[in-house]
């Protein structure tokens, strides 16, 4: 007898469902084994599903225009606008000031702040806004960004559980639960539906945020990727420049001047001829006043903190001879001398430069351009001493230290030609008010006028361009298109799960299997587990729409409160940490350099803690019983 697939399948299971399950397995394998880039996984799903007949072509590419993807694009543009106007610099400086050099404190402050913002703003928006600030803080403190982004991302997801406007499932909660209530009057004894208020879920959400912070503070060392910074935050020269200029000016050091030091001018100390050291910053009065381009007439006073560029051996000799204390890494000067803010680059004097025939001292180089010359390369010779008094010739190559923003300004003048790509960009703090107004406009539209999030955020992004906070080209360049195509490809997979009935088949099958063992507690555990599982592969909205009616029906059968069952579904739809399928997890995957195994390791414990805290809070605050 020939084999018949349809008769061999369990009742209710269709070939289309099997095909969807097959796609899901393939996606997980490609993620786990790193067979292709994550955005290629999304593109393969986007192409494969319509070819297999599981979704229509329009549904396959619908992710590119989905609310989530458009929101991500818009909020990244808004975040870039806030970053280039210096707003996120201020946020980063505030967190660094509070956290000091403690990685755990910095991680806690970042995660807690993002969770708070996420309670009133969609979690993807809160995470995207903070990405530039987190990048900057990690570089300044020499902390691996992989140790911070997962806690920040998880906090953004959990923060959405604090209010009814923090996440899409909770926004839908009253509508979906109210619809079921109206459609089943006999099951609820014709009682009127009591809608949830804005802060009805706040006790659960706050408890979840606190549990997540404790989890990463206590277990972060074991569950977060054990990465090291790419380079020493104090190392300034790349390989090519080090080969040319040697290691005499390769690192920046921070030294503390003792209280009994006798005040002297820099030229009296003769730091360059004796130690080949260049003073690039002097912090005075406990950081309240800084000299960032010190000249020969500037003075070193007791209790000053001095930043120098040199090599470690000479810096130690300098500290020993003068009685200064050399600090490990950058502390007080981290915001000024970190590689994110300042660095070393090489520049060549052009034949038509007005520097030709003059010395740096005659030209007033430090005062006019606000950068520090470190070394001169001329005729295959490196000159470190008295370079400010040497007549400049065309073709001279200078090693310069300064803020990246100052180098960008110098590049606009016909003085020097830079041989290296300049980091950073020119900040425009005069536009900070405009950038904040654009963000406020987007938030007011979304929260105050209930306009769809993607349209609200896109309005804010467009306003950034119209108000000249940035150009349209800069807006396009700021978007991480890898994240966009990863998400756009996973959305049609969720559509296929719902359209073919694959999600419903699993839910109903498990419910039927465990029906005889259901009590209110086991019911809520089952509902939470099912919702958590579906939201990994189906959109959190799809999982919510599917599970709320099912959970409320099951609650009535077990004599449990159907409202609490519906609320549990809306909260558990945020329990999505094990895979990078949630928008926030996908957003941080590339910047953090994460692989799927990193999410599995960190997310498994978070998922268990999430469910445990939710169950305890439902028992303690909402009165569920066995």
Share of the chain above pLDDT 90, in %: 21
In angstroms, how far is CA 477 from the centroid of its own chain? 17
Three-state SS string over 516-540 comes to HHCCHHHHHHHHHHHHHHHHHHCCH
Question: Which stretch, 191-200, 415-424, 597-606, has highest mean pLDDT?
Answer: 597-606
Q: Domains of the chain: which residue ranges?
A: 239-418
Q: For the chain, first and last CA: distance in Å?
A: 52
357: left (phi over 0), alpha (psi -120 to 50) or beta: left
> Is the Cβ–Cβ distance between 326 and 255 less than 8 Å?
yes
- Selected residue with higher pLDDT from 494 and 249: 249
- Cα gap 104→88, rounded to integer Å: 20
| Mean pLDDT across 222-228 | 77
Per-residue pLDDT, 31 = 67
Q: Average pLDDT of 286-307?
A: 86
CA distance 39 to 454: 22
Average pLDDT for 597-612: 93
Confidence grade of residue 348 (pLDDT, cut at 50, 70, 90): very high
d(C-alpha 478, C-alpha 39), whole Å: 17
Q: What is the pLDDT of residues 526-543, one digit of tens each?
A: 888 888 887 887 667 767
Q: Which whole number is the average pLDDT over 463-470?
A: 93
Q: Look at residue 478 in the predicted model and tell me its pLDDT.
A: 83
Facing residues of 345 across strands? 400
In terms of Cβ atoms closer than 10 Å to its own Cβ (0-12, 13-18, 19+), residue 241 is buried
Are 77 and 478 a contacting pair, CB within 8 Å? yes
Quote the percentage of the chain above a pLDDT of 70: 89
Predicted local confidence at residue 480, as pLDDT: 75
Distance CA(183)–CA(160), nearest Å, equals 29
Alpha carbons 204 and 195: distance in angstroms, whole number:
17
Considering the chain, what is the average pLDDT of its residues? 82
Confidence of residue 131 (pLDDT cuts 50, 70, 90): confident
CA 221 to chain centre: 19
What's the pLDDT tens digit per position in 34-85?
677 777 888 898 999 999 998 899 888 887 877 767 877 887 788 788 878 8
pTM greater than 0.85: no
Q: Best-predicted range by mean pLDDT among 240-244, 407-411, 586-590?
A: 407-411
- Rounded CA-CA distance 310/226 in Å is 31
Question: Between the CA of residue 129 and those of 362, 474, 551, 610, what are the distances in Å?
Answer: 46, 16, 35, 25
pLDDT digits (tens, 9 = 90+) for 85-109: 877 667 777 777 777 767 888 899 9
Count Cβ atoms below 10 Å from residue 379 Cβ, excluding itself.
Answer: 8
pLDDT of 324 strictly over 90: yes
Q: Which of 112-116, 120-124, 342-346, 375-379 bottoms out in mean pLDDT, i.e. has the lowest?
A: 120-124
CATH of domain 239-418: 3.30.70.1450
């Amino acid at each position: 007898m020939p084999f018949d697939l349809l008769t061999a399948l369990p009742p209710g299971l269709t070939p289309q469902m099997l095909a969807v399950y097959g796609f899901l397995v393939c996606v997980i394998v490609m993620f786990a084994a790193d067979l292709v880039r994550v955005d290629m996984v999304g593109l393969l799903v986007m192409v494969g599903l319509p070819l297999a007949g599981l979704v229509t072509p329009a549904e396959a590419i619908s992710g590119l225009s989905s609310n989530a993807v458009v929101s991500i694009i818009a909020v990244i543009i808004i975040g870039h606008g806030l970053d280039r106007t210096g707003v996120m610099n201020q946020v980063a400086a505030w967190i660094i000031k509070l956290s000091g050099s403690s990685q755990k404190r910095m991680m806690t402050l970042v995660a807690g702040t993002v969770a708070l913002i996420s309670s009133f703003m969609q979690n993807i928006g809160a995470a995207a806004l903070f990405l530039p600030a987190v990048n900057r803080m990690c570089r300044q403190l020499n902390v691996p960004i992989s140790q911070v982004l997962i806690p920040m991302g998880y906090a953004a997801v959990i923060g959405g559980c604090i209010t009814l406007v923090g996440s899409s499932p909770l926004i839908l909660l009253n509508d979906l639960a109210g619809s079921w209530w109206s459609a089943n009057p006999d099951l609820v004894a014709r009682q009127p539906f009591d809608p949830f208020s804005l802060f009805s879920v706040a006790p659960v959400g706050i408890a979840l945020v606190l549990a997540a912070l404790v989890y990463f503070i206590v277990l972060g060392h074991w569950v977060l990727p054990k990465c090291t910074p790419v380079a020493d935050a104090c190392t300034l020269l790349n390989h090519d420049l080090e080969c040319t200029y040697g290691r005499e000016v390769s690192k920046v050091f921070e030294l503390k001047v003792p209280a009994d030091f006798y005040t002297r001018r820099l030229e009296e100390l003769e730091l360059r001829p004796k130690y080949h050291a260049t003073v690039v910053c002097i912090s005075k009065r406990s950081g309240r006043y800084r000299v960032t381009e010190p000249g020969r007439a500037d003075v070193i006073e007791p209790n000053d903190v001095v930043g120098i560029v040199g090599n470690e051996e000479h810096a130690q000799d300098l500290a020993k001879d003068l009685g200064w204390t050399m600090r490990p890494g950058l502390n007080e000067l981290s915001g000024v001398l970190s590689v994110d803010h300042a660095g070393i680059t090489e520049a060549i004097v052009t034949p038509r430069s007005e520097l030709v025939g003059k010395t740096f001292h005659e030209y007033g180089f430090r005062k006019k351009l606000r950068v520090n010359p470190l070394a001169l390369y001329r005729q295959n010779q490196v000159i470190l001493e008295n370079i400010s008094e040497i007549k400049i010739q065309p073709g001279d190559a200078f090693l310069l230290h300064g803020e990246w923003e100052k180098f960008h300004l110098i590049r606009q003048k016909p003085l020097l030609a830079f041989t290296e790509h300049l980091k950073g960009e020119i900040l425009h703090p005069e536009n900070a008010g405009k950038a904040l107004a654009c963000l406020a406009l987007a938030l007011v539209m979304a929260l105050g006028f209930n306009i769809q999030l993607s349209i609200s955020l896109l309005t804010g992004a467009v306003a950034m361009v119209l108000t000249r906070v940035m150009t349209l080209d800069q807006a396009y360049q700021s978007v991480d298109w890898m994240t966009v195509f990863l998400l756009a490809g996973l959305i049609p997979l969720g559509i296929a799960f719902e359209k073919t009935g694959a999600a419903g088949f699993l839910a109903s099958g498990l419910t039927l299997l465990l029906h005889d063992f259901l009590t209110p507690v086991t019911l809520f555990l089952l509902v939470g587990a099912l919702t958590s599982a579906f939201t990994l592969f189906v959109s959190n909205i799809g999982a919510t729409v599917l599970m709320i009616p099912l959970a409320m029906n099951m609650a009535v059968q077990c004599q449990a409160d159907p409202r609490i069952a519906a609320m549990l579904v809306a909260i558990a739809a945020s329990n999505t940490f094990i895979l990078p399928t949630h928008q926030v997890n996908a957003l941080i995957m590339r910047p953090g350099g994460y692989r799927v195994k990193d999410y599995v390791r960190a997310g498994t414990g978070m998922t268990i803690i999430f469910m445990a805290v939710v169950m305890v809070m439902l028992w303690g605050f909402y009165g569920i019983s066995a």
